[in-house]
Amino acid sequence: MKYYLHLLLLLCAALPCFARQSSANADSAWLIRNYTKREVYIPMRDGKRLFTAIYEPKNNKEKHPILMNRTPYSVAPYGAGNFKAYWKTHYMAYLRRNYIMVLQDVRGRMMSEGEFEDVRPFNPVNTGTQTDEASDTWDTIDWLLANASGNNGRVGIYGISYPGFYATMGALSGHPAMKAASPQAPVTEWFIGDDFHHNGAFMQMDAFGFYSSFGKPRPAPTTSFAPGFQFPVKDNYKFYLEAGTLKKLAELMGDSIRFWNDLYAHPNYDDWWEVRNTRTFTQHIPSSTATLVVGGLFDAEDCFGAWELYKSIEKKAANDNKLVMGPWSHGGWAKTSGDHLGNVRFGSATAMWYQENIEIPYFEYHLRGKGDLSKIAEANIFFTGTNEWRTFGQWPPSGKTKTNMYLNPNGRLAIIAPSTSSYDEYTSDPAKPVPYTEDVLFSRTSEYMTDDQRFASRRPDVLTYETNLLTEDLTLAGPVVANLFAAITTTDADFVVKLIDVFPDDFAYNNKTDGTGNGKSYPMGGYQMLVRGEIMRGRYRNSFRFPEAFVPGMVTEVACKLPDVAHVFKKGHRMMVQIQSSWFPLADRNPQQFVNIYEAGTDDFVRSTVRIYSGGRYPSHITLPVLR
């Protein structure tokens, strides 16, 4: 009897998996029956041709909208008989509605002709045969309107991460048929906040791992990716520590990767970076193109880009512009259920909710004239802590107030600053940098954005400040700024500031209301959840263009800006702030001397004693956007 009961339980547990597989099989069969795929080369104004895969519905009872995705990452699978596995994604909803789906290898990548340029600058005055990514989008649209079977003359574009940059360029194209653009986790600005730099600090691990493959020259069109660097060890902390310097990483990279060389050639923010900042040009988005900017609260790559692109469009353009930020890692709204990240749970399938209630209705309205947008607010933001969606008429919301929380002696964090000055100090040793996670890992995780920070609290080179138990919920909605008064014994240092939610010691999730998360058991009592962390390269405290050395021993104000937060510190929790001077190997080590870090040798790296002052003349504090 026990055997049959056990077998029955196993069968019941397997039913959802069988159901999903059956549904996927049905969708794949439906797609192949109801769509044709063709591969074409679309000519650009300068004579170069871009490889494009077009999925067209066989049903021509009505005209069809065109939904584009332009990518440097390949439109694979190649071959007219090989269909992209749309049935495994929510994009199947568009095919069920008979959208014409268009995928394009951008100029110079994979099977497209021409020369590739990273974050190719927008040219607002293209003439003759001059091209940029916006003109390539325009030319593609012109061709599609004339050649895509049964199209309705309306085009939309979307993209996640680097394709999000191309979605922004699509909006900037100004083509009258471009009705809706959705830059999602968009590459927006690579020196201050996205991917490869944060406040001037070089995010070496992502940059090296990415460009050792992506950046390799492509002598001829190809369907294959270039192989990446063959790491000798699977411990990223060990590898980057032993590599030692950015000069050594350049040797390992080789001299053939153009953009890597450009990074080293432009160590400070200059005109070269300025024209690669999409926020410089958002005023050129026409009123005829609506924008939906989407991002993740815990996006390790482009959290900054989503928040700041939305704000720039809102400030400079006159179009219909909306924002969605959910509790997701990079692209999590399209590839996960969105019910958890790492050990932290969000209580519902937030990705599916977004897809069904925002993204699909958005494109339906703008591209097919179906439904309305009355239920899609200006800003649609998920607040972690209480795990609920909230809507606002603007972002940051009008009801927020700037509230200072001051560093106090004995590791306290309070709304009152001490009357007299004192300081806490630590020694920042480049030979033993503070890790970003306690685990031994090869690849950079997404989960670190919500990781337990107890490992860092226990280090002598990390300062920790904590409130008393909160007596009521504290809601944060907007940007966070840490204003530190610091004195260092060297001429440069980095400052890492982390905002942390400390759970009650007896806290445990309820599987019925909070979901089962990642299914792993982890002690959540006393959990120190990273809500937001950011690094600031001290030399850029006054200007990203004109770095300044510190005067050893002189108390100096450093403002560290953190990306926006949407989080509720619940009653019974504590708020914590951690301060340290390395975040390794996410960011490169600062030699702690005012030298060109890209050219620094091993002897340039020295210890620095860092003092963080509080109270009196030097009231170090963190400014919070409190929503009442």
DSSP line for 14-36: HHHHHHHHHHHHHHHHHHHHHEE
* Burial tier of 202 (Cβ tally within 10 Å: 0-12, 13-18, 19+): buried
CATH number of 32-184: 3.40.50.1820
Tokens representing 607 are 């210890």
> H or E element: which one contains 606?
none
User: Looking at domain 400-627, what is its CATH homologous superfamily?
Assistant: Galactose-binding domain-like (2.60.120.260)
- Where do the domains of the chain lie? 32-184, 197-273, 400-627
- Arch. (CATH architecture) of 197-273: Orthogonal Bundle (1.10)
602 exposure class (CB count in 10 Å sphere: 0-12, 13-18, 19+):
exposed
End-to-end, the C-alpha distance of the chain in Å comes to 59
Neighbours of 15 (CB within 10 A): 9
Q: What's the pLDDT tens digit per position in 349-367? A: 999 999 999 999 999 999 9
What is the full DSSP assignment across 117-165?
Answer: -TTPPP-TT--TT---HHHHHHHHHHHHHHHSTTEEEEEEEEEESHHHH
pLDDT score of 26: 86
pTM: 0.95
Is it true that the peptide bond before 585 is cis, omega within 30 degrees of 0? yes
Asked if the domains at 32-184 and 400-627 fall in one CATH topology, the answer is no
Q: What integer pLDDT is reported at residue 19 of this predicted model? A: 52
| Mean predicted confidence (pLDDT) in 63-89 | 97
Tell me whether strands 178-184 and 151-160 are parallel, antiparallel or unpaired. Answer: parallel
The model's pLDDT over 544-594, given as tens digits with 9 standing for 90+, comes to 999 999 999 999 999 999 999 999 999 999 999 999 999 999 999 999 999
Query: Collapsing DSSP states into helix, strand and coil, what is residue 66?
Result: strand
Which DSSP string corresponds to 268-320?
S--HHHHTT-GGGSGGGS-TTSEEEEEEETT-TTTHHHHHHHHHHHHHH--S-
Alpha-carbon torsion 217, 220, 224, 230, what sign?
negative
Average pLDDT over residues 486-515: 97
Nearest residue to 514 (alpha-carbon basis) of 428, 624, 376, 387? 387
- Sign of the C-alpha dihedral computed for residues 174, 171, 173 and 278 taken in this order: positive
pLDDT of 433-477, one tens digit each? 999 999 999 999 999 999 999 999 999 999 999 999 999 999 999
129: tokens are 């045969």
Average pLDDT over residues 68-86: 97
Q: Dihedral of CA 224/228/230/231: which sign?
A: negative
For residue 462, what pLDDT is reported? Answer: 98
For residues 215, 216, 217, 218, the Cα torsion angle rounded to the nearest 10 degrees is -100
Helix, strand, coil fractions of the chain, as percent rounded to 5: 30, 30, 45
The whole-angstrom separation of Cα 524 and Cα 502 is: 10
pLDDT digits 0-9 by tens, 315-356: 999 999 999 999 999 999 999 999 999 999 999 999 999 999
**DSSP code, position 74:** -
